[in-house]
């Protein structure tokens, strides 16, 4: 089992190790630009000072490659954290791909612990 939410997340380079206030779960990969709305919302929330964690799952795991998504780059620059689902990476043959600075691979149990917390707002796209 992974460390408890709110414990040191192990995400190198994050300016803010507070437990997340907002968890945004992105399951969509590269689609029409309108589909990047959740990632842009994450940037707005992080710039507003909220502790934001973006979890990439399913087809969105391809967005974890460095430089592949401008909104995710902006999110990290604004202090947001990025986790990528291990199973989704493995299922798509992407296990071991390089990740952007500060991003890390995570398991579903870690996401499940966050989703059930009453003090965290969760949005799944």
For residue 76, what pLDDT band results from cuts at 50, 70 and 90? very high
SS3 letters for the chain? CCCCCCCCCCCCCCCCCCCCCEEEEECCCCCCHHHHHHHHHHHHHHHCCCCEEEEECHHHHHHHCCCCCHHHHHHHHCCCEEEEEHHHHHHCCCCCCCCCCCCEEECHHHHHHHHCCCCCEEEEC
Residue 33 confidence (pLDDT): 57
pTM: 0.82
What average pLDDT does range 62-72 have in this prediction?
A: 89
Residue-wise pLDDT for 14-57, tens only, equals 345 678 999 999 998 776 555 678 888 999 999 999 999 999 99
Topology of domain 22-124 in CATH is Hypothetical Protein Ychn; Chain: A, (3.40.1260)
Residue 80 confidence (pLDDT): 95
- The domain ranges of the chain are 22-124
Residue 112 confidence (pLDDT): 94
């Amino acid at each position: 089992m992974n460390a408890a939410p709110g414990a040191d997340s192990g995400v190198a380079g994050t300016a803010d190790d507070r437990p997340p206030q907002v968890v945004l779960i992105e399951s969509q990969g590269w689609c029409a630009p309108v589909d990047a709305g959740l990632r842009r919302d994450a940037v707005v929330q992080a710039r507003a000072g909220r502790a934001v964690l973006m979890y990439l799952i399913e087809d969105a795991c391809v967005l974890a490659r460095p430089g592949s998504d401008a909104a995710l780059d902006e999110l990290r620059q604004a202090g947001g954290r990025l986790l990528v689902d291990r199973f989704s990476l493995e299922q798509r043959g992407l296990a071991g791909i390089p990740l952007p600075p500060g991003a890390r691979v995570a398991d579903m149990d870690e996401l499940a612990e966050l989703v059930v917390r009453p003090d965290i707002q969760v949005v799944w796209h």
